[in-house]
Structure 1
Amino acid sequence: MTAITLDALDLSALLCSRVCHDVISPVGAIVNGLEVLEDEKDESMRGFAQDLIKKSARQASARLQFARLAFGAAGSAGAAIDTGDAEQVARGFIHDERTTLNWHAPRVLLPKNQVKLLLNLLVIATTTIPRGGVIDLTLTVEGDKGTFHIASKGINARIPQSVPGLLAGAPESGSVDAHGIQPFYAGLIARAASMSVDLTIEGDIVTILAKPQAE
């Protein structure tokens, strides 16, 4: 595999496409719900529409808050991020009827790239259990360096074929599109944070281990 480099314009465009992809569904549901409220006289249908709008608005807000930390600047250069804030947006992003997030981590300030990597690895963890399941995150901290152990367990757990290459910055296809930009970006963040990332699978459990590189 050959490592590739994206220029700043392509990287920003692909990340914007990713964020839009994440929020377009709940925003579209809000629009549909509002149209039902305008046209529908039946009270049960209006109640259904109101519930849909509330649920979709919460989902859109959660995804935008997550994207702000996982993909955005999240403070000035050199800033640290509270892992408690990371937990809050992670729970909002992952919360659904199929997937449970167990968060085992102290509340500390970590360099922003480490926290951004952690959130991006959680996104990858959700892709390893397409039918849902349980994601267990354990964070250990030594000084200003964190080690992340993420175990995702579910039916048909697997490591998506393209992810290891994208994380390494060397996709098998030789290019990156909007679908693959998130794991590619996670690899960029890992290297910026001087951390290694390894994915393994055993049975129905996929493990993601991110740790500081030896100096």
Structure 2
Amino acid sequence: MTTAVDLDKLDLAALLCSRVCHDVISPVGAIVNGLEVLEDEDDASMKAFALDLIAKSARQASARLQFARLAFGAAGSAGAQIDTGDAENVARGFIQDDRTSLEWQVPRTLSPKNKVKLLLNLIMVAASTIPRGGRISVVATGEGEEGGFRLTTQGSHSRIPPHLVDLLAGHASEGGSVDAHAIQPHYTGLLARATGYVIRLAVEGDGVAIVVERDGSAFAALPSDDINVIR
């Protein structure tokens, strides 16, 4: 049984901060470990390994912080617009690795802040549907500020994670409580409702399709079975 999530502004802010810290703590910890190796080791190969670890982890931490700044942060004053080219850059830095690739077909333009934040959060949602990695494709649909997005994933063991649909819809189990892990899809749903978009998810072959539109015009392309609508 699910109930509506009831979070005050302080709890929402705290949980989002926890989520950002969770994403960054691993590469930062790896940097610390690499520095300790440099201090304690005299072996040249170990020092080279430590320097490579530090460089790789620093890039990862930077990419995750830049992504979080746009996906969760203020990114300018109220009513500000964000360059979708900047969104593509931070999304690639956050997503692309040895396991997952990102295909981006969104024209470069200035778009409303919350619409771009919604797109970036949807990319995180899409990544959760391919736990072993794979491909994420992002395509703009429609035109202008009223246009939406279609995200498709492809990968081994793809699925719609348990409770994802409920969290996007603003519901959760156990009395409506959410933790730092669940706050991101919940926040995505908040952004969708704030911007007037409807989200629809469906299993599609060996992946998942996510369509985000202001009306149902693009939903006809989704398979008729196993469709979840979030308003």
Give the shorter-chain TM-score range. Answer: over 0.9
For normalisation by structure 1, the TM-score amounts to 0.97
Equivalent in the alignment of 2:220: none
CA distance, structure 2, for counterparts of residue 208 and residue 6 of structure 1:
26
Equivalent in the alignment of 1:192: 194
Moved runs in structure 1, 4+ residues, more than 3 A? none
Which amino acid counterpart does residue 211 of structure 2 have in structure 1? L
Question: Which runs of no fewer than 5 residues in structure 1 stay unpaired?
Answer: none
Deviations 1:39-80 (A, max 9, x none): 100000000000000000000000000000000001100011
Equivalent in the alignment of 2:168: 167
Question: Which runs of no fewer than 5 residues in structure 2 stay unpaired?
Answer: 217-231
Q: How far 1:143 sits from its partner (Å)?
A: 2.6
Equivalent in the alignment of 2:229: none
Moved more, 73-82 or 143-152: 143-152
Question: 2:105–2:139: 8 Å Cα contact kept in structure 1?
Answer: yes
Aligned to 2:18, what secondary structure does the other structure show? Answer: helix
For normalisation by structure 2, the TM-score amounts to 0.90
Q: How far 1:132 sits from its partner (Å)?
A: 0.5
Which amino acid counterpart does residue 185 of structure 1 have in structure 2? Y
Aligned to 2:147, what secondary structure does the other structure show? Answer: strand
CA distance, structure 2, for counterparts of residue 140 and residue 79 of structure 1:
22
Q: Tell me whether 1:61 sits opposite 2:57 in the alignment.
A: no
Q: How far 1:142 sits from its partner (Å)?
A: 1.9
Which amino acid counterpart does residue 180 of structure 1 have in structure 2? A
CA distance, structure 1, for counterparts of residue 129 and residue 145 of structure 2:
29
Q: 1:179 aligns with which of 163, 178, 181?
A: 181
Equivalent in the alignment of 1:210: 212
Equivalent in the alignment of 1:144: 145
Question: 1:110–1:146: 8 Å Cα contact kept in structure 2?
Answer: no
Mapping 1:1-215, distance limit 5 Å: 1-173=2-174, 174-213=176-215
CA distance, structure 1, for counterparts of residue 12 and residue 22 of structure 2:
15
Deviations 1:163-211 (A, max 9, x none): 1000000113321111100000000011111111111102311011111
Which amino acid counterpart does residue 105 of structure 1 have in structure 2? V
RMSD across aligned positions (CA) = 1.1
% identity of equivalent residues: 66
